């Protein structure tokens, strides 16, 4: 059974700092990995999707990397801003015919202090 | 595109009452997912539809839960009778199965059963 772990559970940083959020998974036979952002009381917003054949994806100040062999992904946020404060979740989809289910981590709650 | 639409956004009901949650997926998407999110268990997949057909309902907690997708643009999740332990945020998500399969989430329905 795929398990996804995100460490730390919470992180507080001053504005302007670069930071890294970590995600690890137990089964390396993944189809893709998706990073989401969740604001309090809101739904999940998809940030980046990395296919298993890719090493990284970038969107603005966000960069996500994937190392399948070690079962790890990182989300790098450059020049953090208070508006980046949210919970960040990673989710993996296993490879294989008919595979569709996303397995989620519990998330990292990020607070960017002005 | 309006994104995934869910209604109601908030629902407060008494134990034993029937609850119906509604979802309109993104136009053109052929996969639909219902999730439940709680503090204790995080995000859990309840049921998955592909081309309006339920493919996997193994996550549905018990017979009190049922879901339908009568057409490509509408799905319901029904709880009858509701219990206090059903209190959670219920999310609907959709994706295009034959593509990158990036899942897009609705804003969720916060259910409180008294």
**pLDDT of res. A100:** 78
| Nearest CA distance, A42 vs chain B (angstrom) | 5
Distance separating alpha carbons of residues B103 and B27, to the nearest angstrom: 13
Distance separating alpha carbons of residues A65 and A73, to the nearest angstrom: 5
Q: Does B100 touch chain A (CB under 8 A)?
A: yes
| Nearest CA distance, B80 vs chain A (angstrom) | 25
Mean pLDDT of chain B: 93
**pLDDT of res. A96:** 74
Q: Does A41 touch chain B (CB under 8 A)?
A: yes
Q: Which residue of A has its CA nearest to B102?
A: A49
**pLDDT of res. B1:** 63
For residue B94, pLDDT beyond 90: yes
> What radius of gyration do chain B's Cα atoms show?
13
The token pair at A96 is 């294989």
8-state DSSP, A50: E
How buried is A45 (Cβ within 10 angstroms: 0-12 exposed, 13-18 middle, 19+ buried)?
Answer: middle
**pLDDT tens-place values along chain A, 114 residues long:** 889 999 999 999 999 999 999 999 999 889 899 999 999 888 899 999 999 999 999 999 999 999 999 999 999 999 999 999 999 999 999 887 667 788 999 999 999 999
Q: Does B102 touch chain A (CB under 8 A)?
A: yes
Handedness of CA B66, B30, B53, B44 (dihedral sign): negative
Find the Cα–Cα–Cα–Cα dihedral B13, B15, B20, B26, rounded to 10°: 80
**pLDDT of res. A88:** 98
User: What is the per-residue pLDDT across B40-88, written as a single tens digit (0 to 9) for each?
Assistant: 888 999 999 999 999 989 899 889 999 999 999 999 999 999 999 999 9
- The helix or strand, by DSSP H or E, that contains position A59, with its residue range, turns out to be strand A56-59
**A42/B107 touch (CB, cutoff 8 Å), yes or no:** yes
Strand, coil or helix: B86: helix
**pLDDT of res. A94:** 83
In the Cβ-directed half-sphere of B12, how many Cα atoms lie within 13 Å?
Answer: 1
Please give the full DSSP string across A75-95, using - where no structure is assigned: EEE-S--GGG-EEEEEEEEE-
């Amino acid at each position: 059974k795929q398990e996804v772990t995100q460490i730390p559970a919470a992180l507080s940083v001053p504005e302007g700092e670069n930071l890294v959020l970590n995600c690890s998974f137990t089964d390396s036979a993944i189809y893709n990995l998706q990073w989401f952002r969740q604001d309090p009381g809101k739904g999940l917003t998809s940030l980046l999707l990395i296919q298993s054949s890719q090493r990284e994806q970038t969107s603005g100040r966000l960069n996500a990397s994937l190392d399948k062999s070690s079962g790890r992904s990182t989300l790098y946020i450059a020049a953090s801003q208070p508006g980046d404060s949210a919970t960040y979740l990673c989710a993996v989809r296993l490879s294989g015919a008919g595979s569709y289910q996303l397995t989620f981590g519990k998330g990292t709650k990020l607070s960017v202090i002005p | 595109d309006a994104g995934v639409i869910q209604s109601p956004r908030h629902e407060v009901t008494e134990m034993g009452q029937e609850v119906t949650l509604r979802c309109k997926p993104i136009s053109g998407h052929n996969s639909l997912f219902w999730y439940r999110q709680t503090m204790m268990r995080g995000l859990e997949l309840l049921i998955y539809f592909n081309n309006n057909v339920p493919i996997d309902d193994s996550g549905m907690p018990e017979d009190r839960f049922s879901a339908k997708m009568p057409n490509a643009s509408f799905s319901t999740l029904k709880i009858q009778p509701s219990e206090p332990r059903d209190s959670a945020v219920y999310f609907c998500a959709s994706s295009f199965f034959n593509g990158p399969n990036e899942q897009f989430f609705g804003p969720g329905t916060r259910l409180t059963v008294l």
